[in-house]
Structure 1
Amino acid sequence: MASSAMMGGAEKVIGLATPGLGFTVSDLHGKHFPNLGSVSFAGISKSRTKSHFPRCSLSESRPASQPRFIQHKKEAFWFYRFLSIVYDQVINPGHWTEDMRDEALEPAELTSRNMIVVDVGGGTGFTTLGIVKKVDAKNVTILDQSPHQLAKAKQKEPLKDCKIIEGDAEDLPFRTDYADRYISAGSIEYWPDPQRGIREAYRVVKFGGKACIIGPVYPTFWLSQFFADMWMLFPKEEEYIEWFQKAGFEDVKLKRIGPKWYRGVRRHGLIMGCSVTGVKPASGDSPLQLGPKAEDVSKPANPFMFLLRFLLGSIAATYFVLVPIYMWLKDQIVPKGQPI
């Protein structure tokens, strides 16, 4: 459900040459990172690795017992029932701008008008508008669980030829080896089981095709961490990489994204933080085997617990509405060249 977003116009790609669990990044959880461009890990010298790319081991995921009150399909459905009313007018201008969107889509390599593309969690179609700049709308399918968000997408003239369907990111209604490109922006944070969703991405992409997932990054500032863990899933960068690799993707790369005024500071974890891509190396289903779904939406919810989760999650979300305003003001006050 194409969520609100932001994070760093730093224009850098973290490339992974091998599927090992340990990998190299630039100041992975630090407060600031330099512009490094595209990096191929196979060719990094030992000295450069030490000075710019400290070795990071794969960290543990945050425990499932942490609240994340909107990281459930039912709560997310109603969250967007109301947010869809103001999503395009209020959320996108501060969190997920057109230049950020276009930069985040670059690694997907939308190189042909005839490509078959699925936009999973496409919401109001904001990310899809970037896709149809490169691909004919008749070849694009927008999928989302929220009919309220999709109603907004249907109103947009450039998307009138797109297929628009309701569906579940963890159980896609597409045949295996269907699409040339899988795109999902601002949706993974609401998936109860992100590994399952990425496994589905692998399944529906053709041999040699690419999946591109754009999503938030876990903050480093303690107050932002508190509200992030209340609201929804903010994965760490290495978690994205691990999920892609376990699903079977190769040539996995991560590119940090965000507004130009953000100056590369990571500590507040502003919502849209990275664009991750992987290539499908063989036809067929993912080699990863998983058990039952983490969440069964057919089961009735406890009304009191549902309301409590929904209200607390919405309160936590408000914090991240205020953060871009705070960061924008700091950008106006702090001298240029200094991190904020």
Structure 2
Amino acid sequence: MASSIVNGADTLKLISTIPRSGLSFHGSEFTGNRFPYKGLVSYARKATHAAKIMAPKCSISSSRPAAQLRFIQHKKEAFWFYRFLSIVYDHVINPGHWTEDMRDEALEPADLYDRNMIVVDVGGGTGFTTLGIVKSVDAKNVTILDQSPHQLARAKQKEALKECKIIEGDAEDLPFPTDYADRYVSAGSIEYWPDPQRGIKEAYRVLKIGGKACLIGPVYPTYWLSRFFADAWMLFPKEEEYIEWFQKAGFKDVQLKRIGPKWYRGVRRHGLIMGCSVTGVKPMSGDSPLQLGPKEEDVEKPVNPFVFLLRLILGALAGAYYVLVPIYMWLKDQSVPKGRPI
């Protein structure tokens, strides 16, 4: 997939001519009668300019109300959700939403070029993403952090990750010193953070000066039915929200790269659980300049067990919709002639 966000872009240039019968941008759902590949090239004048979304306006989803149902949008609910999902995560969830090809493509902007880099994989779960990291970085220099012991137990079983440090922890309160890591990676975790801005602020803090954060996560749907189930399940951020969170935390050179299973053919109206890879560089040492108040969620606060169970069940049912979406898209890919959007 082509990168959709470019820092400091002033001018754009289309590669190849525009056909009279239609126009298509790779990685978006803006399509005409034809579906040719179109690339965008940007020329940056000043790196201080804000990151811009280089995609047609129709690819930006409609506004959402400030408050959402999001039945699984708290740490306790996510903990128990993964208590059961961890059993089938690698074999049922990943094939439809997070393939090895997608993982390698999403990690490419992280620039993992040195085997001696110190890398933290936050929300690393079963270690699927970490397996991509250790292709380029020695396992002994990688730490996997997750709040789910059930997910981490799966990671510990993977031979390639035997030398990794594996610890339980909170993405919004990382147990690492300031200016600690060369790279911060988090894949498939932000959707469960009660306060995404706080988690990205922590990513900034733990990185060394010049270090890079790579956050991989879902994208918000534009199709009405998919929006309904997304909002009932967990957080599906918009592309511009990712950019805003990174910039507010203090990151520079913020870029967003769209990713997705091959059979989506660039059409993203249903949203994707793994839909984009966002990167940013820490420009100076120390903590993030952003000041935040108390945490959104107090994990020590008691909850009504009946309400908790109801939220967990409803959230899991909403999430089941996204098990069906890749099956539906795969079937369309098999039945619709190649070269046409689906």
Structure 1 length-normalised TM: 0.88
Q: Distance in 1 between matches of 2:254 and 2:38?
A: 17
Go from structure 1 to structure 2 and tell me whether the alpha carbon gap of 1:54 and 1:224 turns closer, same or farther (over 3 Å shift). closer
Equivalent residue, structure 1, for 2:174: 172
Go from structure 1 to structure 2 and tell me whether the alpha carbon gap of 1:177 and 1:272 turns closer, same or farther (over 3 Å shift). same
Asked whether the equivalents of residues 182 and 205 of structure 1 are also in contact (C-alpha less than 8 Å), the reply is yes
Equivalent residue, structure 2, for 1:243: 245
Deviations 1:31-75 (A, max 9, x none): 24775557435269xxxxxxx75579x999744521011111000
Q: What letter matches 1:263 in structure 2?
A: R
Equivalent residue, structure 2, for 1:114: 116
CA displacement at 1:338 relative to structure 2: 0.3
Deviations 1:240-261 (A, max 9, x none): 0000000000000000001112
Q: Secondary structure at the match of 2:194?
A: coil
Q: What letter matches 1:81 in structure 2?
A: R
Q: Distance in 1 between matches of 2:63 and 2:250?
A: 20
Q: How does 1:289-304 map to 2 (within 5 A)?
A: 289-304=291-306
The RMSD of aligned alpha carbons is 2.3
Asked whether the equivalents of residues 197 and 245 of structure 2 are also in contact (C-alpha less than 8 Å), the reply is yes
Go from structure 1 to structure 2 and tell me whether the alpha carbon gap of 1:298 and 1:61 turns closer, same or farther (over 3 Å shift). farther
CA displacement at 1:307 relative to structure 2: 0.8
**How many aligned positions are there?**
316
**Residue of structure 2 aligned with 1:207, choices 206, 209, 213:** 209
Go from structure 1 to structure 2 and tell me whether the alpha carbon gap of 1:60 and 1:197 turns closer, same or farther (over 3 Å shift). farther
Q: What letter matches 2:272 in structure 1?
A: L
Equivalent residue, structure 2, for 1:316: 318
Which shows bigger deviation, 33-42 or 184-193? 33-42
Equivalent residue, structure 2, for 1:3: none
Go from structure 1 to structure 2 and tell me whether the alpha carbon gap of 1:281 and 1:154 turns closer, same or farther (over 3 Å shift). same
Asked whether the equivalents of residues 26 and 266 of structure 2 are also in contact (C-alpha less than 8 Å), the reply is no
Asked whether the equivalents of residues 13 and 39 of structure 1 are also in contact (C-alpha less than 8 Å), the reply is no
Q: What letter matches 2:249 in structure 1?
A: A
Equivalent residue, structure 2, for 1:187: 189
Q: How does 1:66-215 map to 2 (within 5 A)?
A: 66-215=68-217
Asked whether the equivalents of residues 252 and 278 of structure 1 are also in contact (C-alpha less than 8 Å), the reply is yes
Q: Distance in 2 between matches of 1:298 and 1:28?
A: 46
Go from structure 1 to structure 2 and tell me whether the alpha carbon gap of 1:184 and 1:300 turns closer, same or farther (over 3 Å shift). same
Go from structure 1 to structure 2 and tell me whether the alpha carbon gap of 1:39 and 1:289 turns closer, same or farther (over 3 Å shift). farther
Rg (Cα) greater in structure: 2
Asked whether the equivalents of residues 25 and 37 of structure 2 are also in contact (C-alpha less than 8 Å), the reply is no
Go from structure 1 to structure 2 and tell me whether the alpha carbon gap of 1:254 and 1:333 turns closer, same or farther (over 3 Å shift). same
Go from structure 1 to structure 2 and tell me whether the alpha carbon gap of 1:338 and 1:59 turns closer, same or farther (over 3 Å shift). closer
Q: Secondary structure at the match of 1:289?
A: coil
Go from structure 1 to structure 2 and tell me whether the alpha carbon gap of 1:60 and 1:247 turns closer, same or farther (over 3 Å shift). farther
Q: Distance in 1 between matches of 2:305 and 2:102?
A: 38
Q: Distance in 1 between matches of 2:317 and 2:65?
A: 21
Q: Secondary structure at the match of 1:266?
A: coil
Equivalent residue, structure 2, for 1:219: 221
Go from structure 1 to structure 2 and tell me whether the alpha carbon gap of 1:63 and 1:175 turns closer, same or farther (over 3 Å shift). farther
Q: Distance in 2 between matches of 1:14 and 1:39?
A: 11
Q: Going by fraction, where is strand more abundant, 1 or 2?
A: 2
Which shows bigger deviation, 138-147 or 263-272? 263-272
Asked whether the equivalents of residues 32 and 266 of structure 1 are also in contact (C-alpha less than 8 Å), the reply is no
Q: Distance in 1 between matches of 2:40 and 2:78?
A: 35
Q: What letter matches 1:17 in structure 2?
A: G
Q: What letter matches 1:86 in structure 2?
A: V
Asked whether the equivalents of residues 178 and 206 of structure 1 are also in contact (C-alpha less than 8 Å), the reply is yes
Q: Distance in 1 between matches of 2:274 and 2:135?
A: 21
Equivalent residue, structure 1, for 2:2: 11
Q: What letter matches 2:5 in structure 1?
A: I
Structure 2 length-normalised TM: 0.88
Q: Distance in 1 between matches of 2:76 and 2:228?
A: 22
Q: What letter matches 1:230 in structure 2?
A: A
Which shows bigger deviation, 61-70 or 125-134? 61-70
CA displacement at 1:139 relative to structure 2: 0.1
Q: Distance in 2 between matches of 1:70 and 1:28?
A: 32
Q: Distance in 2 between matches of 1:295 and 1:258?
A: 31
Go from structure 1 to structure 2 and tell me whether the alpha carbon gap of 1:40 and 1:251 turns closer, same or farther (over 3 Å shift). farther
CA displacement at 1:126 relative to structure 2: 0.1
Go from structure 1 to structure 2 and tell me whether the alpha carbon gap of 1:28 and 1:242 turns closer, same or farther (over 3 Å shift). farther
Q: Secondary structure at the match of 1:88?
A: helix
Q: Distance in 1 between matches of 2:41 and 2:177?
A: 34
Q: Distance in 2 between matches of 1:108 and 1:13?
A: 16
